[in-house]
Structure formats: C-alpha cells, structure tokens
Amino acid sequence: MEKKIISIGIISAIVAVLVIVAALSVESEPQPEIEVVVEADVIMPTKSSRPGCEETDSCYIPSVITAKPGQKITWLNTDAAFHSVTSGTFDEPLDTFDSGYMDPEETFSLTFDEEGTYDYYCTLHFWMEGKVIVE
C-alpha cells in the first residue's frame, strides 16, 4: 500500500511538471507593436555630430526658435551620438541651463519664463549652436 501511495505521488508530480511545461510552451498571441511618438520643438538630426551642419544651419532644427514667456521647449536627440543643450556659446558658456549629455532618442525640456534671447550650444560639438527667443 505504501508503494502505491509513493507511486501515485511521483506520477502526480510528473503530471504537474508536464502541465507547467506545456503551459509555458504555449505560444501567446502576438502583441501589437506600440509606437512611441515623442513631440519635440527642436531636434538634433543624424550626423550633426560631424562638422558641416553649421554650413547649412541644421545642427539643431530649427536653429532659432521663438517662444512665449512660460512656454516649454523640448529638444530631441535623433543622432547616434551624445549631445547637449547648454546655455551660452562654446567660447562663453553660461550657467543658465544645461541638459547634460543626452543619449540618442533622449529629450530635454525647459520652460522659458522670462523674455530674452537664449543662446545655446553642444558642449561636445562646438559647431552646434542654436537660439531661443522669448518674446
């Protein structure tokens, strides 16, 4: 009788394992791909990490943007290289704002509360320059 109980226990354990394996191996229905849309006011385009985009004024697109006081501006790095959005110019950096190094596909947003002209550049690529005009 004891052997029969042990045999039933072993068989039950094997059946339980087979049920779990079967459940894990069943293919689930494919999930639809989710498209993430990131809205940006300014982009850092592909290859802006290479000199030459300054010749066509396309290192930041657009290179000059106008905003109203209290408006948020978002930059998106679509290049394969790191970039930054840093206040001032390469020769005269300011401490007003700094995105830090932005990974590809990363965004940086900043709200401009006061009227004025805000120059910015990329700390890694001195030829990349842009401007926000708040009026």
Examine residue 48 and state whether it is found in any structural domain, yes or no. yes
Q: Is the pLDDT of residue 73 over 80?
A: yes
Examine residue 66 and state whether it is found in any structural domain, yes or no. yes
Q: Calculate the CA 102 to chain-centre distance.
A: 8
Q: Is the pLDDT of residue 28 over 80?
A: no
φ, ψ for residue 6, nearest 5 deg: -65, -40
**The overall pTM is greater than 0.75:** no
Examine residue 16 and state whether it is found in any structural domain, yes or no. no
Examine residue 7 and state whether it is found in any structural domain, yes or no. no
Number of H helices, E strands in the chain: 1, 8
Percent of the chain with pLDDT over 70: 75
Contacting residues for 58 by C-beta, under 8 A, at least 6 apart: 45, 48
Q: Tokens at residue 39, please?
A: 């809205």
Examine residue 109 and state whether it is found in any structural domain, yes or no. yes
pLDDT (0 to 100) of residue 39: 86
With contact defined as beta carbons under 8 Å apart, do 101 and 58 qualify? no
CATH number of residue 85's parent domain: 2.60.40.420
Summary mean pLDDT of the chain: 87
DSSP state of 102: B
User: How many structural domains is the chain composed of?
Assistant: 1
How far, in Å, CA of 85 to CA of 107, rounded? 10
Examine residue 31 and state whether it is found in any structural domain, yes or no. no
Contacting residues for 100 by C-beta, under 8 A, at least 6 apart: 84
Domain span including residue 61: 42-134
Examine residue 15 and state whether it is found in any structural domain, yes or no. no
Examine residue 72 and state whether it is found in any structural domain, yes or no. yes
